Amino acid sequence: MKFVPLLTATSLALAALPASAQTAAIDSSALREEAKGVFEAIPANLSAIKQTDEDPQGVALTPEKIELGKVLFFDPRMSRSGLISCQTCHNVGLGGVDGLPTSVGHGWQKGPRNAPTMLNAIFNAAQFWDGRAPDLAEQAKGPVQASVEMSNTPDELVKTINSMPEYVTAFQNAFPGENDPVSFDNFAAAIEQFEATLITPNSPFDRFLAGDDAAMDEAQKRGLQAFMETGCTACHYGINLGGQDYYPFGLVAKPGAEVLPVGDTGRFEVTKTVDDEYVFRAAPLRNVALTAPYFHSGVVWDLKEAVQIMSSSQLGTELNPQQVDDIVAFLSAVTGEQPQIVHPILPVRTDATPLPAPM
């Protein structure tokens, strides 16, 4: 587990500077070079996923798997009630979230945590706030089986898919050569391939990294500088500005119980290691201006307030008002081009398709 390093004297000194001392002209070239050592631009598209040193080619994305995954993503019949789809909690038109503190699932139950965005989730080191799923395929299996979410079972899901000939043909085309292509594993693999296309390139920040000085305004550049120099990048780094490692929430000072509920011990629930109590995966900050409310508890609706909470809880310092405004301005610059997805026409049910269960 990686912990936040102590702030440097330079960072603390910068945080203490009056706002007027932090509005000097920004050297865009120098700022860009510093940022390129910490961050990476979102690519325009992906052709493969899961590349490793041992397998540099990874798993190729195919049109057949992507299209199948899209249909499954939007199909509420993958849930026990026939009402809840992946799209319900991860709305492609709402920045990949549902805009609720915590999602509403089967039986109108409220889930325990805020729904993370699936946009750019392919770049996370692991999925869920506690990192319990190593990849998007494994993540896709979780909500289907969770009683508080879709409340289905793998066998019932496969039965539903097999009841519709259009689905059976689509699975055969997406997974050629397999004796039994309609499986829970292939359901998850197809959704993973579709979600790998849900990336948001060409944000103002990405264009700035590519050399366009005019892509970000002065406030956004000051915010980028403050983001790096005050210590935010200790947790929020890399291509997704987070999502790469785990950190205690409240490293310096624990926030109130509303923001950090006592009963949710984070990664400890996965590892059962005492050191992981109240440890969570650092939230990816791409498109964060679109994904309120914030934190795993989903109780903070204002991005400015979220920045202030993080500065006191994680950095142990109070950012001055100018810094907070500038960092919020920078975070608006990491909103990329949103995926343009046409809602698919879903396969027609048959007499063999299981009936929806009452909510």
pLDDT digits (tens, 9 = 90+) for 131-154: 999 999 999 999 999 999 999 999
pLDDT digits (tens, 9 = 90+) for 36-74: 999 999 999 999 999 999 999 999 999 999 999 999 999
- Residues serving a catalytic function are 149
Look at residues 172, 191, 198 and name the one whose alpha carbon lies nearest to residue 67.
191
Binding site per annotation, positions: 86, 89-90, 106, 232, 235-236, 310
264 vs 128: CA distance, rounded Å: 13
3-state secondary structure of 347: coil
Q: What is the dihedral of CA 212, 331, 318, 310, to 10 degrees?
A: -140
Binding site per annotation, positions for heme c: 86, 89-90, 106, 232, 235-236, 310
Instruction: Count Cβ neighbours within 10 Å for each residue of 304-342 and write b for 16 or more, e otherwise.
Output: eebbbbbbebbbbbebbebbbbbbbbbbbbbbbebeeee
pLDDT digits (tens, 9 = 90+) for 207-230: 999 999 999 999 999 999 999 999
- At 317 the pLDDT is 84
* pLDDT greater than 90 at residue 20: no
Q: Quote the mean pLDDT of the chain.
A: 92
- At 172 the pLDDT is 98
Q: Which domains, and CATH codes, for the chain?
A: 28-44+201-334 (1.10.760.10), 61-197 (1.10.760.10)
- At 35 the pLDDT is 98
Enter the pTM of the model: 0.91
